[in-house]
Structure formats: C-alpha cells, structure tokens
Amino acid sequence: MKKILFIQRRSPYGTGFAKEALDAILMASAFEQEISLVFTDDGVWQLKNQQDTKTLGIKNFSPTFKALELYEVKQIYVEQMALEQRGLQIEDLIIPVTVLATAELRQLIQQHDVILSF
C-alpha cells in the first residue's frame, strides 16, 4: 500500500484544474490506498460554501466534496494560514476538515510516497 497525497492549490473556476483533480482523487479512492487531501493557497477556495454557478452556465462541482466520505477519503486537511490570508474560517467550508499549522503540513508532506499536485 502506498500513501498518496493530493495537493490542491488552485481556485475552482478560473482554470479547469480543480475539477479534473477531483476526478483523479475519486479514481484513486478505488485503489484502496491511503489517500490524503490537502487544500492550501487558493485551493481552499474550492471548499467555500454557497458556490452558485447558475449564471455562469457551468457545473458547480463543490457538492462532490461531500461525497468524498462515501469514497473513504477521510483525511482532508487545509492549511490554517491559507484560510486566514483569505478571510475564511472552517465554518465557511462545505465539508468538515482538519486544520493544520504550516509546520504540521510540512511534516505531513514528508510522510507520503506519492505527491500529486494539480
């Protein structure tokens, strides 16, 4: 078994990275490996609640994050500093997450075998 870390640093709609990264996370969950998911930098915006894309005419993929638990992806982290810099609190996020200090995240990254960044 390998420990796989996904690092999300991109905001949700300005580029297609966030959505296609989520597809990869869901796929990886089927391989019964140990998966962790980190949101930092603008990646934390992916988890913002109240996303409404109706006027844009594009798909709001944020509800999919709620399904991660069903896919057994349960280790979901955000970097505290990234939230603070963006005026966000965990109550603003669409799913419950574990908040990490920068030093804790630094350590977490070192503990993985594969790092997938999108």
Partner 1 sequence: MKFAILINSAPFSHQASDTAYQFCQAALNKGHLIHRVFFYHDAVYIGSSLMCPPQDEPNITVHWQNLAKQHGFDLAICIAAALRRGVLNEQEAKRYGKSSANLAAEFKIVGLGQLVEACLTADRLMVFGG
Partner 2 sequence: MSILHTVNKSPFVNNSLASCLRLAAQGDGILLIEDGVYGGLNHTGFTPELEQALANFTLYVLQPDLAARGIVNQAHPKVQQIDYAGFVDLTVFYTNVQAWF
What's the CA gap between 47 and 30, in Å, rounded?
Answer: 22
Q: Is 102 among the residues that bind partner 2 (CB under 8 A)?
A: yes
Q: Per CB under 8 A, which of residues 5..64 are in contact with partner 2? A: 7, 9, 40-41
Which are the contacts of 113, defined by CB distance < 8 A and separation ≥ 6? 2, 3, 4
28 binding partner (options partner 1, partner 2, none; Cβ < 5 to 8 Å by kind): partner 1
Per the document, the length of the chain is 118
**Contact between residue 5 and residue 109 where contact means Cβ atoms under 8 Å apart:** yes
16 binding partner (options partner 2, partner 1, none; Cβ < 5 to 8 Å by kind): partner 1
Residues engaged in binding partner 2 (CB under 8 A): 7, 9, 40-41, 81, 102, 105-107, 109-110, 112-115, 117
